[in-house]
Amino acid sequence: MAVNAPARYTARMEESVNIAEDVAYERLSTGILEFTVRAAIARSEDESEWEHEELRRRGLGGIQIFRNGKAIWTDRDIFEAELAEARRSKCEAYFDERNELDPTFLEELDRDLRQRWRLAGYEVATLLGSMKALFSELESDVRDRIADARQALTDEILASACPDAYEVRNVSEGDSPNISR
């Protein structure tokens, strides 16, 4: 009796941007989450690329996902139409070698990713059609943290460089100095 090897996944944006390559499902979802975080941060700094905007606008639907080397199709109608075309073109075997239908795959991935986002403190709706709301929330958090970091650095420099003009107050571990004149 043959033992089935665990499924291996590859995810990419179009043909040029790999998100995860030949990894287990858990690493696939981690890779997508990491790519999403980095995309939102890049976008908040006006450093985003086309693939970041594509992810924001199309959500998980903008990612090409392969399982064991086969493209995963989630839309039955489109898959059946492409399969029918492959049959007409007499290349059904070629199509079958490279494609598979799994209508629930993206919904399961969406559920798993939303659970991970909840663990990180973000309650997000479905990521299937768009990630605009998630990107907005992440971008807002980036802006807030940058503002806090700027203020902390300013306070630290002034307190260190001008101790006679500024005094440090209530510094708790991990916090930046809170200064006053």
Residue 55 within a domain: yes
Residue 163 within a domain: no
Looking at per-residue pLDDT, the higher value among 25 and 125 belongs to 25
Contact 52, 36 (CB under 8 A): no
Proportion of the chain above pLDDT 90, given as a percent: 71
Residue 36 within a domain: yes
Residue 26 within a domain: yes
CA distance 178 to 181: 11
Residue 4 within a domain: no
CA distance 111 to 116: 9
Residue 155 within a domain: no
Residue 129 within a domain: yes
Kind plus residue range of the DSSP H or E element containing 135: helix 132-161
Task: Return the pLDDT at 159.
Answer: 86
Looking at per-residue pLDDT, the higher value among 177 and 19 belongs to 19
In the chain, the number of structural domains is 1
Predicted model pTM: 0.81
Q: What is the pLDDT of residues 101-150, one digit of tens each?
A: 999 999 999 999 999 999 999 999 899 999 999 999 999 999 999 999 99
Average pLDDT (32-58) is: 91
Domain hosting residue 71, numbered range: 9-141
Residue 97 within a domain: yes
